[in-house]
Amino acid sequence: QSALTQPASVSGSPGQSITISCTGTSSDVGGYNLVSWYQQHPGKAPKLMIYEGSKRPSGVSNRFSGSKSGNTASLTISGLQPEDEADYYCRSYAASNSFGLYVFGSGTKVTVL
């Protein structure tokens, strides 16, 4: 079993919307509604942006939204802003013998053009 698959990079202009995909299997993403998304700026700790697939923690902009279809979860950033430029990781509950409780995605670098 490998990390969840994300595109290596996604880019967009300020004000545009972008979507990052996170593809797993029926044993992780598809089997549970327990995908979370994290934003990480260079040299900083990750920050929780979405939990339980589509819920936002207090203080996270409503420009960030999450969804899921089958074995693929998605993070959409609307009204892209320069401060959104960062790495983004999905994480899913997996509860597998090899992966333990959770597995991360491979990460996506978002560039604001």
Binding residues (CB under 8 A) for other proteins: these are 3, 32, 34, 36, 38, 40, 45-48, 51-52, 55, 57, 87, 89, 91, 93, 97-107
Q: How far apart are CA 15 and CA 86, in angstroms?
A: 16
Question: For other proteins, which is the closer residue by CB, 68 or 91?
Answer: 91
Distance of closest approach, residue 67 Cβ to other proteins, in angstroms: 16
The burial of 110, by beta-carbon neighbours within 10 Å (0-12 exposed, 13-18 middle, 19 or more buried), is given as buried
CB-nearer residue toward other proteins: 62 or 98: 98
Q: How far is the CB of 22 from other proteins (least distance, A)?
A: 12
CB 11 within 8 A of CB 110: yes
Nearer to other proteins (CB atom), residue 30 or residue 102: 102
Q: Please, what is the minimum distance in Å from the beta carbon of residue 15 to other proteins? A: 28
Minimal distance in Å, beta carbon 103 to other proteins? 7
**What is the spatial distance between Cα 110 and Cα 38, in angstroms, rounded to a whole number?**
12
* Choice between 5 and 72, CB closer to other proteins: 5
Gap between the Cα atoms of 28 and 83, Å rounded? 30
